[in-house]
């Protein structure tokens, strides 16, 4: 009876193993050199989730409802021949989430601060978002200001020049973008990554600090035996 139980247990483990491990085998464990953590912040309805969706899916999400709590997106990009995985936390803009989403600021390497060029109030609130960001992130966090909905020129309420001046005064990077047409969306996410990477290269960002928002992955995976086994069998995996 005991023998049978042990065989059943082994079978159970084997099934667990197949179920858990097989999907992961379709991709090598570390097919990127760095992980950068981003947050997207700004007033409700400025298009934070639409920017994320445009960046990760290359699609415009029409009729996008208000985000509940946080959303998450990821994409691997390339900077200077290095593969970087962006882990993007998109926070809800509704006031009721303001206090609880502050947890997500911690350890962000990049912060995308978004306003809507057609709604002046969203621009006026930037200083409060900036204060939160400065207080809750570290000094090396790259803050990128995005004026979204640049396609809606006829209803514009904030000029490019004014926002550019605000960005320069506060040492922020800045672009106007459109989640709908995709204009400048890639640029905003990629330029943030380039700036973070530059900070690493110039030693301004301590990779060993837990709050840096950057994790370095060795280009040669440490679990070589597993990878070498997994790669040739990748296509044969039956699950």
CB of 147 to other proteins, least distance (A): 24
| Smallest distance, other proteins to C-beta of residue 99, A | 6
Binding site for other proteins (CB under 8 A): 4, 7-8, 11-12, 15-16, 19, 49, 53, 61, 64-65, 67-72, 74, 87, 96-97, 99-100, 102-103, 106
Q: What DSSP element (H or E) covers 19?
A: helix 2-25
Question: Can you say whether the dihedral through the CA atoms of 218, 189, 50, 59 is positive or negative?
Answer: negative
| Nearest CB to other proteins, comparing residues 103 and 228 | 103
Q: How far is the CB of 236 from other proteins (least distance, A)?
A: 20
List the one residue out of 103, 107, 143, 151 whose CA is nearest residue 127.
143
Minimum separation from the CB atom of position 102 to other proteins (A): 8
Using an 8 Å Cβ cutoff, are 42 and 122 in contact?
yes
For other proteins, the closer CB: 107 or 147: 107
Please, which residue, 102 or 164, has the CB nearer to other proteins?
A: 102
Comparing CA positions, the residue from 217, 191, 158 lying closest to residue 55 is: 191
Query: Which residue number, 10 or 216, has a Cβ lying nearer to other proteins?
Result: 10
Considering the complex, state which of residue 68 and residue 81 has its C-beta at the smaller distance from other proteins. 68
Contact partners, residue 85, CB within 8 Å, separation at least 6 = 32, 34, 35, 36, 74, 75, 76
CA angle 103, 106, 107 (to 5 degrees): 145
Least distance in angstroms from the C-beta of 150 to other proteins = 23
């Amino acid at each position: 009876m005991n023998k049978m139980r042990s065989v059943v247990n082994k079978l159970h483990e084997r099934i667990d193993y197949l179920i858990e491990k097989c999907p992961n085998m379709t991709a090598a464990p570390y097919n990127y050199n760095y992980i950068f953590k981003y947050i997207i912040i700004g007033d409700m309805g400025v298009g934070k989730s639409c920017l994320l969706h445009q960046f990760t899916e290359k699609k415009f999400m029409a009729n996008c409802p208000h985000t509940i709590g946080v959303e998450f997106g990821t994409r691997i990009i390339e900077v200077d021949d290095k593969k970087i995985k962006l882990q993007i936390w998109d926070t809800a803009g509704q006031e009721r989430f303001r206090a609880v989403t502050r947890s997500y600021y911690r350890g962000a390497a990049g912060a995308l601060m978004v306003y809507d060029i057609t709604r002046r109030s969203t621009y006026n609130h930037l200083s409060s978002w900036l204060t939160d960001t400065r207080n809750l992130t570290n000094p090396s966090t790259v803050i990128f200001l995005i004026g979204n909905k640049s396609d809606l020129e006829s209803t514009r309420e904030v000029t490019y020049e004014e926002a550019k001046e605000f960005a320069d005064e506060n040492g922020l990077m800045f672009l106007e973008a459109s989640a709908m047409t995709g204009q400048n969306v890639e640029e905003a996410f990629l330029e943030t990554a380039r700036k973070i990477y530059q900070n690493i290269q110039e030693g301004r960002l301590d990779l060993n600090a837990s709050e840096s928002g950057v994790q370095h992955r060795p280009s040669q995976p440490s679990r070589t035996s597993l990878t070498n086994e997994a790669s040739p069998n990748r296509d044969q995996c039956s699950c």
